[in-house]
């Protein structure tokens, strides 16, 4: 029986090799360095080697693994990691029953090994994000479920403090998992508090639920992925607020222009007992000023064709204008360079536009390309 629990522990350790490899490696000075294909292959070799340790060839390997982070309003996440084993025959069932007995007899043997791997993961994320983090309350259970097929489920639960970044009333989820890799048997779920709604998500998830998104492997996230931004429901999105502000400014400008044009004709108007009397001189002056107003109006129309000044635009509107100026498509890195934005900010703005169906994104080689819907097929 002990041998079986140790074999399952090795399977758990193999999974932690992948989980501990979350995000880019840290280079000199703490700067992130993208993990190369060679490094990823080395991690796979380490996992394979762990499975080939003498006495562990018949390890009870999970058929699927689900990693779920339920993020609270303060950014702390309650994590659940489930290793599911299909109990398809008597041997598999007996092996998992042995694991259940070992967990009941000495759960600490399981949680301590799991915590060792996760603490390294949390420490790496803390260095990368600059937020103080901690791993707390690690527990383990071993149960059976029918879905309808019978499964043995080894479940680890723990608290990851400050997992997500808080930005006012927004939650920015995912920077602690940058560059994460999912194998073909794994899934990653981000969930957020009730009463919040999703504003953007990068890359596009495989499934969306009521307050959650799911990515299924195989998946190799980029250095600024995965990312989810959520905010309390009921408020207007940033782009809508920007649109309201522009509308108010336009109405105000229109009112000023109207009063200005009315004022141009006032000096040539004389009143007597409340009745307006227009003199010949005033008529001539009005004609002259009318000609000038026409010229000014033409200039104003030319300016209006260019749209409002850039400083009055939201980030999303600035990207749309840039796309218009570049024939409807542009590389995402060019957007970041044009506005001097970080990759994270660029991904967030593009993600918001994609959620609103204002743009489409696709890859050409290793480059992300952003395009207006009408230009995506060009």
Question: How do residues 299-355 score in pLDDT, each as one tens digit?
Answer: 545 544 566 777 778 888 989 998 888 888 888 988 988 888 888 888 888 888 988
pLDDT at 351 (0 to 100): 86
**Closest Cα partner for 180 from 135, 213, 231, 216?**
216
Return d(Cα 73, Cα 68) in angstroms, integer.
16
Question: pLDDT, tens digit, for every residue of 326-339?
Answer: 888 888 988 988 88
pLDDT at 132 (0 to 100): 94
**Residue 350 CB neighbour total at 10 angstroms:** 23
pTM metric for this prediction: 0.54
pLDDT at 361 (0 to 100): 85
Which of 8-22, 283-297, 361-375: highest mean pLDDT? Answer: 361-375
**What is the crossing angle of helices 343-355 and 332-339, to 10°?**
120
Report the CATH fold assignment for 314-375: Arc Repressor Mutant, subunit A (1.10.10)
Question: pLDDT, tens digit, for every residue of 39-49?
Answer: 444 444 444 44
CA distances from 260 to 56, 131, 247, 255, 308 (A): 87, 54, 20, 9, 20
| E strand or H helix at 299 | helix 280-305
The DSSP letter of residue 41 is H
Q: What rounded mean pLDDT belongs to the chain?
A: 74
Do the beta carbons of residue 220 and residue 188 sit within 8 Å?
no
What is the four-CA torsion angle of 21, 25, 30, 33, rounded to 10 degrees? -150
Decide: residue 347, CB within 10 A, 0-12 exposed, 13-18 middle, 19+ buried.
buried
Vertex 196 angle, CA 132 and 69, to 5°: 45
Return d(Cα 49, Cα 57) in angstroms, integer.
10
Least confident of 122-136, 162-176, 222-236: 222-236
Do the beta carbons of residue 5 and residue 102 sit within 8 Å?
yes
Q: Where are the domains of the chain?
A: 2-232, 238-310, 314-375
Cα first-last separation, the chain: 63
* Mean pLDDT to the nearest integer, 191-220: 93
């Amino acid at each position: 029986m002990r041998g079986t629990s140790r074999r399952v522990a090795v399977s758990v350790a193999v999974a932690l090799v992948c989980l501990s490899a979350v995000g880019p490696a840290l280079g000199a000075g703490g700067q992130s360095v993208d993990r190369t294909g060679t490094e990823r292959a080395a991690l796979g070799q380490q996992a394979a080697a762990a499975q080939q340790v003498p006495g562990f060839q018949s390890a009870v390997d999970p058929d699927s693994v689900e990693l779920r982070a339920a993020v609270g309003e303060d950014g702390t996440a309650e994590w659940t990691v489930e290793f599911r084993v299909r109990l398809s025959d008597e041997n598999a069932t007996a092996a998992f029953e042995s694991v259940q007995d070992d967990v009941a007899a000495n759960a600490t043997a399981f949680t301590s090994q799991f915590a060792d791997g996760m603490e390294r993961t949390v420490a790496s994320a803390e260095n990368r994000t600059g937020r103080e983090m901690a791993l707390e309350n690690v527990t383990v259970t071993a149960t059976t479920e029918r879905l309808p097929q019978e499964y043995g489920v080894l479940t680890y639960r723990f608290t990851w403090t400050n997992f997500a970044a808080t930005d006012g009333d927004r939650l920015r989820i995912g920077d602690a998992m940058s560059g994460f890799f999912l194998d073909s048997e794994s899934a990653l779920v981000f969930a957020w508090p009730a009463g919040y709604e999703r504003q953007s998500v990068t890359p596009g998830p495989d499934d969306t639920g009521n307050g959650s998104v799911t990515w299924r492997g195989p998946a190799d996230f980029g250095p600024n992925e995965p990312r989810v931004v959520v905010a309390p429901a009921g408020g207007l999105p940033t782009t809508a607020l920007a649109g309201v502000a522009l509308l108010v400014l336009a109405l105000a400008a229109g009112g000023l222009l109207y009063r200005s044009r009315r004022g141009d004709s006032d000096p040539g108007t004389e009143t007597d007992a409340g009745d307006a009397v227009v003199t010949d001189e005033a008529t001539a002056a009005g004609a002259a000023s009318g000609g000038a107003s026409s010229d000014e109006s033409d200039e104003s129309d030319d300016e209006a064709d260019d749209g409002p000044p850039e400083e009055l635009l939201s980030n999303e509107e600035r990207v749309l204008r840039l796309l218009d100026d570049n024939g409807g498509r542009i590389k995402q890195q060019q957007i970041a360079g044009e506005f001097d934005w970080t990759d994270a900010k660029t991904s967030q703005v593009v993600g918001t536009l994609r959620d609103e169906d204002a743009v489409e994104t696709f890859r050409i080689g290793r480059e992300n390309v952003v395009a207006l819907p009408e230009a995506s097929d060009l």
